[in-house]
Amino acid sequence: MFLITSSTLRNKKPQSVKPVASSTERKKNLLSFLSICCVFTLGIGATALRPKPVLGAEKIVISYGVFEFSLPVNSLEKFAKTGEVDRDLSFYARFLKEDGLANFRKFLQRRFDVTPVVMSQLTYAPIGVDVLQKLGNVIRTGSRLDGFHALRAALILSAADPEGMTIVNIMRKFPTSEIYMDARQLLELQAQFTTLFDYQKAAVAAVSQATEQEAQSSPNIPSLGNLTKPGRFRFYHRTLQLTRNRQPLVGTNSQHSFRVELYIPEGLSQRAPVVVISHGLGSDPKGFAYLGQHLASHGFVAVLPQHIGSDAAKREAFLLGIGSSSTDPMEFVDRPLDIKYTLDQLERLSQGELAGKMNLQQVGVIGHSYGGYTALALAGAKFNQARIAQACSNRKVSLNASIFLQCLATDLPPVTENFRDPRIKAVIALNPLTSIVFGPEGMSNIQIPTMILGGSADIITSVVQEQIQPFIWMKNPEKYLSVVIPSGHAAADQFDGTDNQPAPNTLGFLLSGRDPKLARDYIKGLSLAFMQAYLNDRSEYKDIINAAYAQSVSREPLKLDLIRSLTPEQLEQSFGGKPPIPIIPKPVTTDRR
C-alpha cells in the first residue's frame, strides 16, 4: 500500500505518480470523494448531550486500489472559512473549475439546522441504524475498524456544537485522528446520491414541465368554488370497536381489537358513498380526522380504522428510536385485511342500526405512506415477493428510507391472499411505498382510478422511486400523479389534531416540510374532487382534476403539479441522459439454481 499525500505529489515530478495522475478519469474519481462524503453526511443528517471533548479527525485518508491519498481536515476548514486553497488542497482543487470550487466551498459552509435530540432519534431509529451500519463499512476509523459508532457520535456531537452542524464540524467530531475511506466503495454510492439530488431534481422538473404542457391543452375548468371549504352537511362522529383474528409470523391466531372512527353525514336523501382513510406508520385515525370530517361535510361516510400493528404506539420505537421493537412484517398482510374486515362489519351494521346510511358498493380508499401501500394493495397492486427477495438480498446504502421498511417483508411466509376488493372503486395514495413491495409487475395490475401524490422534499419515501416512476408502471387509463413542491413526507398527517406548524428543529418539522397546512388543503381539494368524480359519477368534478386546476390553486410556498401522463423519455430528457437507476426495472428472475 502506497501512502501519497498532496505534498508528496507536489514535490515529485509528474511522471513519478503516473500510475495515478495519468488517468483523467481516475483523477475525477478521486476528487469526487470529497463531494460524495459531503452528500452522504447531508443524507444522514436529513434522514438519520454534549460529552467531554473527544479527539477529532485531523486528516482524511482515501484508499484507491494500492494507493492512498491523504488530506488534512485543516485544509478544508481553512478553505471553508477564508476561501484559501493551501498547498495540501491545491492538488485536488486543480481538477475543479472555478465555479465547481465555489460550489464546493458553499457546501462546506452550509449549516444544517438539526438539534442533537432529533439527530439522536434519527441515528438510533431502526432506519437510521440500517443506513449507518452500511456506511460504517465504507467510512472507517483510522485503524480501519467499522465506523458505525464513530459516525453516530460525530453526527450527534456536531448537532450539539454551538457553531452548528457543518461538514467540517462533523469531521472534527469524528472520534479518531483519521477518517479512512475506500474511494471505490464511495464511488459506488455516487449513483444513490445522484438519484436523490440530481435525478430527483430532474424528475420533479419533468413533472412540472408536463404540468405546463397539459395545462395548455386543458379545457376551461368549471367553477365549483373552493374545494377546501367545509360542505353543507352536518355530520356526527361514532367510534366502533372491532375484533378480528390475526395470524402472527409464529404461533397461533390471536384476537386483536381495534377502533374505527366514523364520520356520518346527516340529511342525505340516499345512501352515501364510503371513503376509508388508512393512516401511516406511527400515526392513528386522529392524524386524518381533518380529512374525514371534510369529506363527511360533503356527503361521504368517512371511515378511519386503527392499524394496531403500525399505529402511534409504534412511533416511538420505530421512527424515533426509543425502544427496540420494530414493526411486524405481517402488517403488509394485516393492513389491507383490516380494511376488508371493517367493510364486512359495516355491511352487517348497515342491515341494522346504520341502515340506509352507506353505499358499500361505492367505496374509495385514501392512504398515507404505509397506508398508501394499503390503498394500492386494495386497488389491485399485487404483492411482489419475487422482487422483494431479489431487491433485498444484497441491499446497498440508500437514502430512500422506505427501502428498510419494504425489505422487512422478506421475513414473510408465502403470501397467497388476494387483497383486491371489488367494493373499492377509486384510491388515492399519499407518499406511498411501492418500488419493491409491488414493483412494475405489481403496479401494472391496478385497474381502477388511482391518484398518487408525492412531496419533492420527502426523505422517507423518495418521490422518484416511490411515486414518479411507479406512476409510469401503471397501465390503467384513469391514473393521476400529483407532486407538491417542496412538501415533506408527513405533511398530510395532522399528528396533534391541530393545524399548528411543527416547531422548528423538531422531527415533525423535518418530516413535514414547509407549510403542512397548505399541503393538507391541497389534499382536501384533490380528495373531494376525486371521490366526487369516481364514487358519485360527477363529471364536472372529473373535469377539474387536471393540470389547469392544479395551477389555479397553487400558491406560495408550495407548488402543486398534477399530470395524467409521463413517459420514460420525458424523464431521460429532463435528466440529460440515462438515469442512474432504471426507470423501469428489469423483470425479476426466478432462477433458483
CB 337 within 8 A of CB 417: yes
In a shared domain, residues 302 and 155: no
Residue 430 main-chain phi, psi, to 5 deg: -95, 120
Residue 3 main-chain phi, psi, to 5 deg: -100, 120
Strand order through the sheet with 178-182 = 2-5, 67-72, 59-64, 178-182, 139-141
CB 468 within 8 A of CB 211: no
In a shared domain, residues 355 and 486: yes
Q: What is the pLDDT of residue 503?
A: 66
In a shared domain, residues 481 and 362: yes
Q: What is the pLDDT of residue 220?
A: 79
170's enclosing H/E stretch is helix 167-173
Number of domains present in the structure of the chain = 2
Distance CA 400, CA 385 (A): 19
Q: At what angle do helices 183-194 and 24-47 cross, to 10 degrees?
A: 60
In a shared domain, residues 361 and 473: yes
In a shared domain, residues 241 and 337: yes
Which letter, b or e, does each residue of 84-96 get, where b requires 16 or more Cβ atoms within 10 Å of its Cβ? ebeebbebbbeeb
Q: What is the pLDDT of residue 504?
A: 64
Which stretches of the chain drop beneath a pLDDT of 70?
Answer: 1-55, 126-127, 187-196, 250-252, 312-326, 396-399, 496-497, 501-508, 590-593
Q: What is the pLDDT of residue 130?
A: 75
Q: Is position 77 within any domain? A: yes
Residue length, the chain?
A: 593
CB 455 within 8 A of CB 483: yes
Q: What is the pLDDT of residue 39?
A: 36
Question: How many Å is the Cα radius of gyration of the chain?
Answer: 26
Q: Is position 189 within any domain? A: no
| Residue of 278, 246, 274, 267 whose CA lies nearest to 358 | 274
In a shared domain, residues 122 and 259: no
| Residue of 167, 34, 157 whose CA lies nearest to 111 | 167
Q: Is position 88 within any domain? A: yes
Q: Is position 194 within any domain? A: no
Q: What is the pLDDT of residue 250?
A: 63
CB 76 within 8 A of CB 179: no
Q: What is the pLDDT of residue 125?
A: 73
Distance CA 508, CA 498 (A): 13
Distance CA 110, CA 106 (A): 6
3-state secondary structure of 591: coil
Q: End-to-end CA distance of the chain, in Å?
A: 39
CB 155 within 8 A of CB 132: no
CB 54 within 8 A of CB 175: yes
Strand order through the sheet with 254-265 = 235-246, 254-265, 301-305, 272-278, 358-368, 424-430, 450-455, 479-485, 559-563
In a shared domain, residues 440 and 333: yes
Predicted model pTM: 0.80
CB 466 within 8 A of CB 402: yes
Q: What is the pLDDT of residue 399?
A: 66
How does strand 479-485 pair with strand 559-563? antiparallel
In a shared domain, residues 309 and 457: yes
CATH number at residue 551: 3.40.50.1820
In a shared domain, residues 557 and 412: yes
In a shared domain, residues 425 and 560: yes
- Residue linked to cell 364536472: 540
Q: Following CA atoms 74, 75, 78, 80 in sequence, which dihedral angle do they give, to the nearest 10 degrees? A: -110
Residue 577 DSSP symbol: S
CB 242 within 8 A of CB 343: no
Beta bridge partners of 275: 302, 364
In a shared domain, residues 121 and 269: no
Distance CA 28, CA 31 (A): 5
Tell me the residue ranges of DSSP E strands in 101-188: 139-141, 178-182
Q: Is position 227 within any domain? A: no
Distance CA 207, CA 571 (A): 8
Which amino acid is residue 268, in one-letter code? L
Q: Is position 118 within any domain? A: yes
How does strand 235-246 pair with strand 254-265? antiparallel
Give the domain range for residue 137: 2-176
In a shared domain, residues 365 and 482: yes
458 HSE (CA, 13 A, CB side): 32
CB 90 within 8 A of CB 6: yes
Q: Is position 76 within any domain? A: yes
Q: What is the pLDDT of residue 188?
A: 66
CB 271 within 8 A of CB 358: yes
Which amino acid is residue 534, in one-letter code? Y
Tell me the residue ranges of DSSP E strands in 104-194: 139-141, 178-182
